Every structure is written in C-alpha cells, then in structure tokens.
Homo-oligomer: A and B are copies of this chain.
Amino acid sequence: MRFEVSARLDYEVLASSTVLLNIKPLPSANQLLLEETFQATPPARMRELYSETGEKRFCVIEVPDAGNISFSYAAQVETRYQVLPGEHLTDVPISQMPAQVLSYLSPSRYCQSDRLYKFAAHHFGHLHHAFEKVLAICDWIYAHVEYSGGHTTPQTSAFDTITEQVGVCRDFAHLGVALCRALTIPARYFTCYAYRLQPPDFHACFEAYLGGHWVVFDATRMVPLNGLLKIATGADAAETAFASTFGNLSFQNLQVKVEALEPGFHPVNSSPTHGFSYSW
C-alpha cells in the first residue's frame, strides 16, 4: 500500500543550536521510500545518520541564530506487512534468542520492567503462551488507562502509568513494553506515522518478539496496524525522540499528515487468532 506522509516542525531560534530530527520513515525491505524531500527554511547545515543497529536514521542539523526555522519533510512510502496465524507466534526460549533480541529484555528509562515482575506475574502469569499474554496486556492497558493528553509529561514512565492510569500513545506503548519484558518477552518501542489517526500527529506503538517475528501491538486501538509507517525503533522514547534540541530554541508548531495514495485500504488489526508484523 502506498502512502504520502508529511511533517512540518517550526521553532523559534533563540541562539545557535543543534537539532536531532528523527521523523523520516526507516527504509527497509517492507517499507520502501519511493521519494522524499526534506528542507530547512532558512537553509541549515545537516547530516543524515543511521544508528549502528540500523533501527533508525536521523538528521543532525546545525541551526544558525536566525529568528525562526521550519523543517519540512514529505515522502511517498510503500509498505508491506505479514498477517501471521496465532499458532506460528510460539514462545521463543531465551536460549534461542539472538543477541539483539535479548537486549530488549532489559529495563530502560521509561520501561522499568525490573519493578513490575510481581504485577505482571499476578495479572498475566496464569496464561500459557507469550502471544496470549501480550494480547491480555493490551486488553488490560486499554481497559485501565484513559487516553487523555495533558496529564503526563516526558518524564512519565511505565511505573507511573500502571497506577496513575492516564496518558497518551507514548505512555500506552511504554507500559506494554515494560509488562512484556517483566514476563521475559522481548519488546521494543517504535514511533510512526499513522494513517487515520485523529487528530493527526506522530504516533507510538510497540512490538513483541513472538515466534521469531517482531509482532506489532497498539494498546490505544486508535489506528489500524496496517496504517502505521515506522520511523524509529528502540528501547523506549529515550532512544527514539522525534526531536532532540541542544542549545536554545523554542518549539512552536507541528503538523503531520498521512494520506493513502491508493484506494481500497482495509483496516487490519491483531486478534487472538493472528498477529501483525512489518518484519520478515
């Protein structure tokens, strides 16, 4: 399926600064970038980098002391995905996990799985399979956490959300990741463009490692999974921030847009009978 995505970020520049922008879809075999444009207005020196593990690419932009600056990005992207029968999403023994997958068992800044063992065991420990557990985690989050902006901050973590029970996509994803890890299911966070997200904005979801696949879950249930276009994957929001600024600039405005370039979009979600994956 082909999509057109675009984003524009405006800043007021108070002193020359450096910005790391992480808003471009990650190219992969299942997410082809057909064309893309990125520009700063006024122009600024920039450099594109890939993280060593290939899970994100980002721009480092040197912003001169210049009143205001805007970053505009647009791309055409074609995505493919897999719908995997539930019986393929088997539990993977730790002894058979690849090294990179094992790293997603560790607690991270906003996903303190090391403090959630008993909670996770109480609520989900009676279930037999990892896939069932992740579905139950999503159900629990959806049932218990209210989706509402303005209650949480960038410092809010899964440990807070489990009790405070309110937050945005980032908080939902952090809690999903943390509970999976507490059950020894590798899980990672990703940022994305999201087709049909209302109101339009960047989005965040998570993946759990099941049957050798990174299977996508979205506990907010706000968008169809096949409308997601991945930007960056990492341990949590600390590794995948849309923008990190160093110096002195003030964020003014964000506009995000996602459109389908083809007709016939049929929403796909995960369910007890099948999982959804962008990886092969």
Cross-chain contact A118 with B164 (CB below 8 angstroms)? yes
A18 surroundings in chain B (CB, below 8 A): 93-95
CA distance A241 to B106 in the complex (A): 9
Cross-chain contact B114 with A112 (CB below 8 angstroms)? no
CA distance A114 to B164 in the complex (A): 10
Cross-chain contact A163 with B155 (CB below 8 angstroms)? no
Check if A262 is an interface residue, CB within 8 A of chain B. Answer: no
CA distance A107 to B234 in the complex (A): 13
Among the listed stretches A7-15, A97-105, A208-216, A269-277, which one makes contact with chain B, having 4 or more residues with CB under 8 Å of it? A97-105
Cross-chain contact A114 with B238 (CB below 8 angstroms)? yes
* Cβ proximity bits A103-142 to B, threshold 8 Å, 1 near / 0 not: 1011111001011101100100000000000000000000
Known contacts A20-B102, A108-B238, A94 near B52 by CB under 8 Å: no
Cross-chain contact B106 with A118 (CB below 8 angstroms)? no
- The count of residues in chain A whose C-beta lies closer than 8 Å to any C-beta of chain B is 48
Check if A253 is an interface residue, CB within 8 A of chain B. Answer: no
* Cβ proximity bits A177-205 to B, threshold 8 Å, 1 near / 0 not: 00000001000000000000000000000
Report copies per complex: 4
Residues of chain A from 139 to 167 with CB closer than 8 A to chain B in the complex: 144, 146, 154-155, 159, 162-166
Minimal beta-carbon separation of A166 from chain B (angstroms): 6
Would you list 23 pairs from A and B whose C-beta atoms are within 8 A, ordered by A residue? A18-B93, A18-B95, A45-B95, A51-B99, A52-B103, A58-B99, A60-B95, A60-B102, A62-B95, A94-B246, A103-B239, A105-B244, A106-B109, A107-B109, A108-B238, A109-B112, A109-B114, A112-B155, A115-B163, A115-B164, A116-B163, A122-B165, A184-B246
What are the 10 closest A-B residue pairs judged by CB atoms, nearest first? A118-B165, A49-B99, A18-B94, A106-B238, A52-B100, A107-B109, A107-B238, A62-B95, A119-B163, A52-B53
